[in-house]
Amino acid sequence: MGRILADLGAEVLKVEPPEGDVSRFWGKVEDGVSGFFLQQNVGKKCVTIDLKAGGAADLVLGLVREADIVIENFRPGVMERLGLGYRRLAEVNPGVILLSVTGFGQDGPNAGRAAYAPVVHAESGLMARQAQFDEAPVVDLMLALADTLAGLHGAIAVLAALRLRADTGTGQHVDVAMLDSMLASDDYAHHALDGFPIRRLRSDVWDSVAGPILLAGEFRWLWRQLSTVHGLTDGVGADADVDTKVRSRRAAVADWLRSFGNRDEMLAALEKASIATGTIQDFMSVFETDHVRFRECFATIPVAPGQARRVVQSPYRFSAAASGAQPFVARLGEHNSAALADWLGLSAAEVAELVAAGVVIQAPG
């Protein structure tokens, strides 16, 4: 969610451990910058602090004194052990908003457990439900959905807390759990709460004259539209059983989709029947499609002198404001001196003392 705030214009200072964020090694690594790190951290400044070193807590508290928001994703209790719990932060800055993102929240029987997105996908019931309806083995998602939803809900929460602070003058501790975020965002949650059997609202993929295409909507609705607007018939008698009717109708739709001379004719006929469609797009080429290029869904970021890389763009389009990926990605510890001078007024000599003491870690090179 720090990336979201940076895209919206906030100055974001990322505190990394001496070894660096593990995501610096995920994806394509080019000139020391990985694709994942670029995607998640573009526009953030970086200082490298050993939080276990003596004096590290005081340095961080100095930064907190100047901050509006602090974001952390340690397990519950770690910030307190580091001397950086919410009460201590609020002592130095009563207006600070601390957002704690964990797998299971700050309290409860599972609060202390380690959690990554796949763990929460499993415990939210999503993986089992998907396998049940696909009649397939239980497997994880190819998307860190729990991380994504917790980040989005975290961003909403801190923006709301900022708005409240404008009235009260004080900050607060915001507790966002990945599991809570998954459940709150699940449009099937009402089935579990009501104990009501799930009837999956599924859109099917069909073979067509233009290759595989998704037709949005349940088949019964699709059939009603196509039979009413285009006169499709199932070719069976009124006394045929339900299974026979469904098989015949699906075969009629499949034949109809393959009957057109080209893709445009087929799409026009589907549009006439008010049926929304989706092309089954190859993921590796999605950023080359005309619409994605027109909407500028990626930005080109300089990563080194004479070198640039593409990164996904934020989705916000304001009529009277600018937003988007900031044009830099930080090397490990790149902003040690500049950020500590800017935020805390430290001189080069004072930063050098912190480096010598092992509090601030200066990256090689």
Q: Which of 147, 175, 180, 234 is catalytic?
A: 147
Residues 104 and 29 in one domain: yes
207 in any annotated domain: no
Residues 229 and 134 in one domain: no
Residues 235 and 293 in one domain: no
206 in any annotated domain: no
204 in any annotated domain: no
- Whether 17 has a pLDDT exceeding 70, the answer reads yes
Diameter of the chain measured on Cα atoms: 91
User: Which of 279, 294, 312 finishes a domain?
Assistant: 279
205 in any annotated domain: no
Query: How many whole angstroms from its chain centre is CA 104?
Result: 18
CB 203 within 8 A of CB 215: yes
CB 146 within 8 A of CB 178: yes
Domain at 119, CATH number: 3.40.50.10540
One-letter identity of residue 168: T
Q: Give the range of the structural domain holding residue 274, as residue numbers without chain letter.
A: 213-279
147 in any annotated domain: yes
Residues 174 and 294 in one domain: yes
Residues 239 and 312 in one domain: no
Of 94-108, 146-160, 294-308, minimum mean pLDDT range = 294-308
Confidence of residue 365 (pLDDT cuts 50, 70, 90): low
**Rounded-to-integer distance, Cα 305 and Cα 269, Å:** 52
Go through 133-152 and write b for each residue having 16 or more CB atoms within 10 A of its CB, e for each that does not. Answer: eeeeeeeeeeebbbbbbbbe
Say which residue, 225 or 304, is predicted with more confidence: 225
User: Which of 221, 253, 279 finishes a domain?
Assistant: 279
Residues 229 and 113 in one domain: no
CB 160 within 8 A of CB 66: no
Note the pLDDT of residue 188. 94
Note the pLDDT of residue 306. 87
361 in any annotated domain: no
- How far, in Å, are 227, 250, 275, 277 from residue 223 at the CA level? 6, 8, 10, 15
What average pLDDT does this structure show over 81-90? 98
349 in any annotated domain: yes
Residues 275 and 290 in one domain: no
346 phi and psi angles, rounded to 5 deg: -75, 140
For 328, the token pair is 């830099």
**Rounded-to-integer distance, Cα 7 and Cα 13, Å:** 13
208 in any annotated domain: no
Closest CA to 126 of 109, 111, 145: 145
What average pLDDT does this structure show over 236-258? 94
Note the pLDDT of residue 305. 86
Residues 325 and 342 in one domain: yes
User: Which of 279, 308, 336 finishes a domain?
Assistant: 279
Note the pLDDT of residue 199. 83
Confidence of residue 85 (pLDDT cuts 50, 70, 90): very high
CB 262 within 8 A of CB 209: yes
What percentage of the chain reaches a pLDDT higher than 90?
Answer: 94
Any idea what DSSP says for residue 126?
H
Is residue 187 annotated as a catalytic residue, yes or no? no
CB 126 within 8 A of CB 118: no
Residues 270 and 292 in one domain: no
Global pTM?
A: 0.93
H/E stretch holding 174 reads strand 173-177
pLDDT tens for each residue of 104-124? 999 999 999 999 999 999 999
Residues 190 and 229 in one domain: no
**Rounded-to-integer distance, Cα 265 and Cα 272, Å:** 11
Residues 295 and 273 in one domain: no
- Whether 262 has a pLDDT exceeding 90, the answer reads yes
Confidence of residue 184 (pLDDT cuts 50, 70, 90): very high
pLDDT tens for each residue of 157-183? 999 999 999 999 999 999 999 999 999
pLDDT tens for each residue of 313-363? 999 999 999 999 999 999 999 999 999 999 999 999 999 999 999 999 997
Residues 52 and 76 in one domain: yes
Domain count for the chain = 2
